[in-house]
C-alpha cells in the first residue's frame, strides 16, 4: 500500500460493507474483506466481510493502513442490562 493514491474495495455483490470515519480516533474504519475459501484468493467476486476491521490513520500527514483493529462502543447506561452469553448468567430484568 506504499505510495498509493486510491484504495478500491472489491467484494461480492451480496455482501454489505462497513465503512465509517471515527473522528475520536482520527481514523477511517472498514471491514476486512477476505475470500470465503482459500482457493478463491484473488477472485474478488468471492470476497466478503470476515468480522474483523482495518483502517487508515493519519500519521505525519499521510494515511497509514492498520490491520486488525479492535472496535468498541462508547459506554452506555444500557450496558448494565447486557447478559454476556459466554458467562451463562440469566439477565436481570429491570422493568
pTM of the model: 0.66
Dig out the grid coordinates for 65 from the structure. Answer: 493502513
Task: Please check whether residue 92 lies inside any domain of the structure.
Answer: no
CB distance 9 to 17 below 8 Å: yes
Number of domains within the chain = 1
Burial state string for 41-56 with b = 16 or more CB within 10 A and e = fewer than 16: eeeeebbbbeeebbbb
Task: Please check whether residue 83 lies inside any domain of the structure.
Answer: no
Task: Please check whether residue 93 lies inside any domain of the structure.
Answer: no
Q: Which domain holds residue 15?
A: 1-70
Task: Please check whether residue 88 lies inside any domain of the structure.
Answer: no
Query: What pLDDT, in 10s, does the model give residues 69-88?
Result: 988 878 888 887 777 777 77
Query: What pLDDT, in 10s, does the model give residues 47-72?
Result: 888 888 999 998 888 889 999 998 88
Amino acid at each position: 500500500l506504499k505510495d498509493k493514491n486510491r484504495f478500491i474495495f472489491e467484494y461480492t455483490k451480496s455482501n454489505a460493507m462497513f465503512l465509517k470515519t471515527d473522528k475520536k480516533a482520527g481514523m477511517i474504519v472498514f471491514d476486512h474483506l477476505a475470500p470465503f475459501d482459500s482457493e478463491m484468493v484473488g477472485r474478488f467476486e468471492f470476497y466478503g466481510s470476515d468480522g474483523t476491521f482495518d483502517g487508515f490513520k493519519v500519521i505525519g500527514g499521510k494515511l497509514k493502513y492498520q490491520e486488525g483493529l479492535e472496535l468498541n462502543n462508547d459506554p452506555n447506561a444500557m450496558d448494565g442490562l447486557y447478559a454476556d452469553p459466554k458467562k451463562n448468567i440469566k439477565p436481570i430484568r429491570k422493568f
